[in-house]
């Protein structure tokens, strides 16, 4: 009884084939993981900030309106981030101490920025490519029925802001392509325009 069913040349070819397959599975797997991992990074992106600003305390516990701080959201393309002077409208008075009688760390930092007259270098959580046009005020008109949370998730529960949506083209289009809602302007066949120049101009 011979153990070699195949010729040596065939045997070698099978082995080469298996090796090539093995390599492509490894490389393909790595590429796939890399792509997925990148996508995850963008979606769950939650960078540390220079000062531990906590939306769950400010917008959650103390129920300060989103647009009290992000004043431009209803008026123009950018929502805007409050300046140190805006913070000090409240924090000249509010100087809360911790259990040991020290000023809370975030507030001590805030006072430093105020004294040094330097802006806080916040790290952007959302940042669309420059070739995309987006406008907050267009989305937040009363007739659209949209809320901050529809795009940003429940920020009032976040200790640290996380990007809950990818901001990819598909995400924008998923919403724009929905069938017209009862508040959609007359004559539109989708919920919002989808021609390329809506967002690329
Ligand atoms: C007291 C002021 C204040 C209030 C109230 C507030 N924010 Fe903010 N918000 C900030 C500051 C400061 C930052 C920048 C630091 C950070 O990212 O945490 C910020 C960051 C953000 C970001 C991320 C911006 C980026 O870099 O992409 C979003 C989204 C946001 N806020 C949404 C909201 C929403 C929604 C509400 C209401 C539920 C809200 N904020 C209430 C001050 C405020
Ligand atoms: C409308 C008033 C108001 C504004 C504006 C405001 N805050 Fe506050 N902030 C509060 C209140 C109220 C508290 C809770 C104080 C307490 O717990 O005694 C607070 C608490 C804090 C704390 C401590 C949180 C903790 O308990 O660890 C930090 C840090 C802070 N604010 C930073 C900021 C920064 C930075 C800005 C500007 C981007 C800002 N605040 C704007 C009202 C405000
Ligand atoms: C239709 C989706 C949508 C809604 C609704 C929305 N946002 Fe945004 N928001 C975005 C996108 C997209 C960006 C990134 C814009 C960019 O990078 O130019 C962004 C960026 C931001 C930023 C950081 C950059 C900036 O524009 O200043 C803040 C702060 C913010 N949003 C707060 C809010 C608040 C507060 C509300 C509700 C009052 C809100 N957003 C409603 C989609 C939305
Ligand atoms: C949750 C739903 C939703 C998402 C997500 C969304 N949009 Fe919109 N968008 C709308 C609605 C609704 C309107 C129509 C507003 C109106 O009726 O005037 C609109 C309108 C617009 C307009 C103005 C269109 C015009 O009339 O010229 C632009 C520009 C736009 N969106 C860009 C974007 C971009 C870019 C993104 C993704 C980064 C995005 N939108 C994500 C719902 C959405
Ligand atoms: C509702 C808004 C919206 C509309 C309408 C839209 N795009 Fe985009 N597009 C985006 C956004 C947001 C990005 C950025 C994606 C990113 O950063 O990954 C993008 C990215 C792109 C890119 C870069 C490659 C990529 O996928 O990132 C191309 C090319 C493009 N769009 C072409 C088009 C064409 C062609 C149309 C019309 C058929 C169109 N877009 C319609 C929002 C839109």
Both 3 and 69 in one domain: the answer is no
Both 162 and 93 in one domain: the answer is no
Q: How far is the CA of 169 from the centre of ligand 5 (A)?
A: 5
In whole angstroms, what is the distance from residue 170 CA to residue 172 CA?
A: 6
Both 166 and 186 in one domain: the answer is yes
Average pLDDT over residues 183-196: 93
Q: How far is the CA of 180 from the centre of ligand 2 (A)?
A: 41
Composition of the chain by helix, strand, coil, percent to 5: 45, 0, 55
Residues in the chain: 201
Both 147 and 176 in one domain: the answer is yes
In whole angstroms, what is the distance from residue 149 CA to residue 139 CA?
A: 12
pLDDT for 40: 43
pLDDT for 38: 45
Query: Which residues line the pocket of ligand 2, CB cutoff 6 A?
Result: 51, 53-54, 57-58, 62, 64, 82, 86-87, 89-91, 94, 96, 104, 106-107, 110
In whole angstroms, what is the distance from residue 200 CA to residue 185 CA?
A: 21
Q: Say if ligand 5 is within 6 A of residue 168 CB.
A: yes
pLDDT in tens, 140-185: 999 999 999 999 999 999 999 999 999 999 999 999 999 999 889 9
Bigger pLDDT: 28 vs 199: 199
Both 182 and 130 in one domain: the answer is yes
Task: Decide: helix, strand or coil at residue 57.
Answer: helix
Residue that is last in its domain, among 71, 97, 121: 121
Percent of the chain with pLDDT over 70: 82
Measured from the alpha carbon of residue 190, the closest ligand is 4
Q: Say if ligand 4 is within 6 A of residue 120 CB.
A: no
Both 174 and 161 in one domain: the answer is yes
pLDDT in tens, 116-136: 999 999 999 999 999 999 999
Query: Which residues line the pocket of ligand 3, CB cutoff 6 A?
Result: 66-67, 70, 73, 78-81, 126-128, 134, 136, 139-140, 146, 148, 150-152, 167
The secondary element (H helix, E strand) that includes residue 23 is: helix 8-43
Measured from the alpha carbon of residue 99, the closest ligand is 2
8 — pLDDT class (breaks 50, 70, 90): confident
In whole angstroms, what is the distance from residue 195 CA to residue 201 CA?
A: 11
42 — pLDDT class (breaks 50, 70, 90): confident
Asked whether the predicted pLDDT for residue 37 surpasses 70, the reply is no
Both 103 and 194 in one domain: the answer is no
Measured from the alpha carbon of residue 83, the closest ligand is 2
Least confident span in 16-20, 55-59, 69-73, 184-188: 16-20
Both 114 and 188 in one domain: the answer is no
Chain mean pLDDT for the chain: 87
Both 97 and 155 in one domain: the answer is no
Q: Say if ligand 5 is within 6 A of residue 52 CB.
A: no
Both 134 and 170 in one domain: the answer is yes
Residue-number span of the structural domain to which 31 is assigned: 1-43
Both 66 and 141 in one domain: the answer is yes
Q: What's the number of domains the chain is made of? A: 3
Both 174 and 105 in one domain: the answer is no
Q: How far is the CA of 167 from the centre of ligand 5 (A)?
A: 10
Query: Residue 126: left if φ>0, alpha if ψ -120 to 50, beta else—which one?
Result: beta
The whole model's pTM is what?
A: 0.89
In whole angstroms, what is the distance from residue 90 CA to residue 94 CA?
A: 6
Residue that is last in its domain, among 102, 121, 140: 121
Residue that is last in its domain, among 93, 121, 149: 121
């Amino acid at each position: 009884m011979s153990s070699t069913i195949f010729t040596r040349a065939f045997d070698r070819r099978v082995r080469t084939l298996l090796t090539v397959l093995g390599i492509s599975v490894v490389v393909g797997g790595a590429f796939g993981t890399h792509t997925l991992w990148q996508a995850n990074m963008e979606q769950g992106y939650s960078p540390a900030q220079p000062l531990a600003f906590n939306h769950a305390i400010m917008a959650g516990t103390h129920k300060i309106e989103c647009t009290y701080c992000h004043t431009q959201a209803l008026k123009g393309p950018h929502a805007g981030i409050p300046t140190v002077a805006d913070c000090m409208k409240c924090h000249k008075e509010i100087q809360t101490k911790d259990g040991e009688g020290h000023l809370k760390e975030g507030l001590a930092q805030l006072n430093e920025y105020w004294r040094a007259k330097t802006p806080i270098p916040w790290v952007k959580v959302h940042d669309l490519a420059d070739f995309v046009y987006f406008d907050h005020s267009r989305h937040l008109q009363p007739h659209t029925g949209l809320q901050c949370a529809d795009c940003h998730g429940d920020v009032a529960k976040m200790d640290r802001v996380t990007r809950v949506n990818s901001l990819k083209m598909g995400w924008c289009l998923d919403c724009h392509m929905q069938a017209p809602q009862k508040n959609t302007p007359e004559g539109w066949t989708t919920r919002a325009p989808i021609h390329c120049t809506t967002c690329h101009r």
